Structure 1
Amino acid sequence: MVSQADIGPISSQYAAAATVPLIKSPSLWLPKPIEMPNDIHPLPEDITAYFVYPFSLEEHVLSIRPSPADAISQRRARNAEILHRREEEEEQRE
């Protein structure tokens, strides 16, 4: 413990508190630094050996369905035709 002589001149009202050890807030503690391994995930120099799957044979590549842009344009044309027919039917009713 700290003696009164080590503390120095302290007023009598704080003398009792001068010997109480201070506790650091846990929010001020620094964690131990993390030691990273030398090599986390070793990869070979040439990774072309990993690219062996033939994506050109996927179903979405081989399908005979139209491309999304063509499908959208066909849908828009069909909807425009339906709206045009409805307008003509309304004109004929009047």
Structure 2
Amino acid sequence: MSHRYIIGQMLELRSAPRHSNRPSGPCEVISRLPHENGPVLYRVRSQGESIERVVEEGDLSPSDARKPAESERATAFSIAITKR
């Protein structure tokens, strides 16, 4: 089984079925993880979060979401300058 989605693609992440703090909503594929057996896995980053999560392909679906422009992304540096 091969990966269905590509790096950089925006997808819709489903919330976790059990007790989890994983948000649902748009996310970006950061990397495709190698596999031999078991589910196809991806490393993704949800919009509005700085952490990356490993999720199964079944928890992802195509999305019309777009990546925020570089100028719209808040970095630690830009936040520090703004609050000065």
TM score, norm. by length of structure 1: 0.18
TM score, norm. by length of structure 2: 0.19
Task: Give the greater-gyration-radius structure (CA).
Answer: 1
Greater RCO between the two (CA within 8 Å, min separation 6)? 2
Structure with higher strand content: 2
Structure with higher helix content: 1
